[in-house]
Amino acid sequence: MQVLEGYVKQVRVMLNSNYAVAYAVRDVDVDVIAAYPITPQTGVVEKLAEMIANGELDAEMIHVESEHSALSAIIGASAAGARVFTATSSQGLEYMHEVLHIASGMRLPLVMSVATRALSAPINIWCDYSDLMNVRDSSWITFIASTAQEVYDTIVEAYMVAEDPRILLPVIVAYDGFWMSHTYEPLYVAEDKSYVRTLVPRRDRVKLDPQKPVTMGALVGPDWYYEIKYQQVAAMSEAYEAIREYDRVIGRAFGRFYEPVEAYKMDDAEIAILTYGGIYGSLVEAVDRLRGEGYKVGAIRLRLWRPFPVDDIVRVARGVSKLLVVDRAISYGASIAGPVALEVIASLHRAGLDLDVVSYVAGIGGRPVTESDFEGMFKLALKLGRRAREIGTIYWGVRGVSYD
């Protein structure tokens, strides 16, 4: 057992990120879980089923025939007032796509974990972020974790955010399939799960009740549909500040402090590299190596994908002259930049910052992105100079493609 001074008592355990999700879901005391197995997510719901069977968690596990049904089931349960959870990956997330918009449009506080994975065809079960980027405009608040510890903490925070009456939007917590979902790391979980439940108290909200019938998700014409959808825009704006607030709650409880954007060695950096997910650790190592060669380089990690943390990106990147953004998904036809790079460019432009932004795509289909890859991207960007803007997206590591 480890007692962190001034914080809740915590136990140190070895878990992969799938199991870290399950422990957090247990600790927040969900009522209903519905999921369909898909690699590499399956371990999450297998562990939750084991917890239910062992009496560690008093919840209803609904076995469904598809991911579309899994999300539909927890929509119904949430509408009836239950605290709910599901998990998926890749094609499963895409099969849910229709229902994603229903969940957010009905303002239901669902939480879902996504072990990110490449999309077919061809079939690929390894990690990239194509699945997550495909649902970026579905009005789901979206976190991207980089460690199993962060996965545990962020699932707890996700319920705080989703169930906040100012917000009432569903939340995704994403992490690397296989690289994180199946890799064991030491992390801390609360010794007493009842303490976690005090952090995420049950809230009264409008729900289905036969004695007080309401209509949810009804037909709305052009006269009011726009205004209703704008309420989701406003809720996303509220979520940005609420997330910063709940980051502090997690920090005071557990001693682990998070921000929408994390920075490493950025105080004197002249050039920065931004990425997300589990490869951030490799980026930090690469920055240390490059520092050893005399380069003033820093690292930036995007933790919050939706709502996009514009102000944080601008604040962290303001002092650099060149920013490399390493995406792990392809935005087909958007030749200027990858999906996150496009958001970064727009954010910096709005702030009036004329940074030289270099867009990279790497790690597609589970191809490793190592410290050496980051060093290579950095040195190629220096070599290309301003010509990188003319190239647009640089597809790092593709056989037969050269940018020299």
Instruction: Kindly report, residue by residue over 315-364, the tens digit of the pLDDT.
Output: 999 999 999 999 999 999 998 999 999 999 999 999 999 899 999 999 99
Which SS3 state, helix, strand or coil, does residue 327 take?
strand
pLDDT, residue 110, reads: 98
Tokens of 346: 């727009």
Question: What pairing do the DSSP bridges indicate for beta strands 32-35 and 9-15?
Answer: unpaired
pLDDT higher than 50, residue 289:
yes
Which two three-digit tokens encode residue 163?
């169930």
The DSSP element (H or E) to which 185 belongs, if any, is strand 185-190
Residue 3: pLDDT band with limits 50, 70, 90? very low
Of 205 and 242, more confident: 242
pLDDT at residue 11 is higher than 70: yes
The arrangement of strands across the sheet holding 185-190 comes to 2-3, 9-15, 185-190
d(CA 375, CA 293): 11
How far apart are the C-alpha atoms of 366 and 355, rounded to whole Å? 30
Give percent above pLDDT 70 in the chain: 99
The answer to whether 284 touches 299, Cβ cutoff 8 Å, is yes
Main-chain dihedrals φ then ψ at residue 261, nearest 5 degrees: -135, 130
Please write the tens of the pLDDT for every residue from 74-112: 999 999 999 999 999 999 999 999 999 999 999 999 999
Closest of 226, 205, 222 to residue 162, by C-alpha: 205
Q: What is the pTM of this model?
A: 0.97
C-alpha span between 203 and 47 (Å, rounded): 27
Percent of the chain with pLDDT over 90: 93
pLDDT of residue 236: 97
CA angle 236/145/5 to nearest 5° reads 105
Phi, psi torsion values for 5, nearest 5 degrees = -55, 125
pLDDT at 2: 41
CATH class of 261-395: alpha beta
The single-letter code of the amino acid at 186 is P
pLDDT at 6: 60
Q: Is 333 left (phi over 0), alpha (psi -120 to 50) or beta?
A: left
Of the candidates 158, 149, 165, 10, the one whose C-alpha atom is nearest the C-alpha of residue 86 is: 158
Residue 221: pLDDT band with limits 50, 70, 90: very high
Q: Which of 381, 368, 157, 184 is nearest to 274 (CA)?
A: 381
pLDDT at 313 over 50: yes
Cβ-based neighbours of 70, under 8 Å, separated by 6 or more: 34, 35, 36, 62, 64, 86, 88, 96
Structure tokens at 336: 């200027």
Q: How long is the chain?
A: 404
Q: Which CATH superfamily is domain 2-254 in?
A: Thiamin diphosphate (ThDP)-binding fold, Pyr/PP domains (3.40.50.970)
Kindly tell me if the per-residue pLDDT of 34 is higher than 90. yes
DSSP letter for 119, please. P
| DSSP class of 92 | H
CA 291 to chain centre: 29
Please give the average per-residue pLDDT across 147-164, as a whole number.
98
Q: What's the whole-number average pLDDT of the chain?
A: 96
Radius of gyration of the chain (CA): 21
Whole-angstrom distance, CA of residue 41 vs CA of residue 203: 29
Could you tell me the residue ranges of all domains in the chain?
A: 2-254, 261-395
